[in-house]
Amino acid sequence: MKCWYVWAKRLLWWLFWAIVGLLCLLAGVGIWMQREHLVLNLSTCEPLGLYQLIGNPYPLHDGELVEVELPDPITHPAVAEGLRDHWFPENQPWIKQVGALPGQTVTLSRQGVWVDGRYLPNSHVDRRTPGGRDAILHYPFGTYHLKNGQVWLYAPGNYAFDSSYYGPASQGHILQAAHPYWILPGSQYWLRKGD
């Protein structure tokens, strides 16, 4: 009986120090990420991994990676739907590409997005969530001329949530320029694209 008690006491002691060690490791990683200005992208918009925020993104350029804040769910029904159905967390940083700038023309159709006649790869508009569970709201199909202060945000990943669903975004929603620090190439395509 005493042997069992000693073994259980040692196991609890080891478990305690393992938890303390894990907490110290997580705190150290958090401090390092903050010091290096790193954010973790877990979405399918861009490859999974760490992105370094590098400050002022202006002037903006086509294809540039940026960190953006969540568009207002009150004025963007697709964002409200995504939050309600938990397709993405409210406080997760969004890494997107600048797809089009003020003065450019964007054509949105079921097949995808064209900017000034140039097709954006893998920009097909999904009608349903992965597995076909729920219908997805998208921005109305048509041609849009971006006004001053508007950008079209683009993400080439499967099931990417970008301007195809919530429309042009205000340049004021762009927080910082970003670039990949450590990523899993191709991970934005892990979820199979739907119809």
**Distance from chain centroid for Cα 160:** 8
- 194 confidence band (pLDDT: 50, 70, 90): low
- 10 confidence band (pLDDT: 50, 70, 90): confident
Closest-CA residue to 146 (of 109, 118, 106): 106
Alpha-carbon Rg for the chain in angstroms = 21
Tell me the per-residue pLDDT of 24-70, one tens digit each, with 9 for 90 and over.
888 887 888 788 889 888 888 899 899 999 988 889 998 999 999 88
Q: Report pLDDT for 146.
A: 97
Tell me the per-residue pLDDT of 106-161, one tens digit each, with 9 for 90 and over.
999 999 999 999 999 999 888 877 666 777 888 999 999 999 999 999 999 888 88
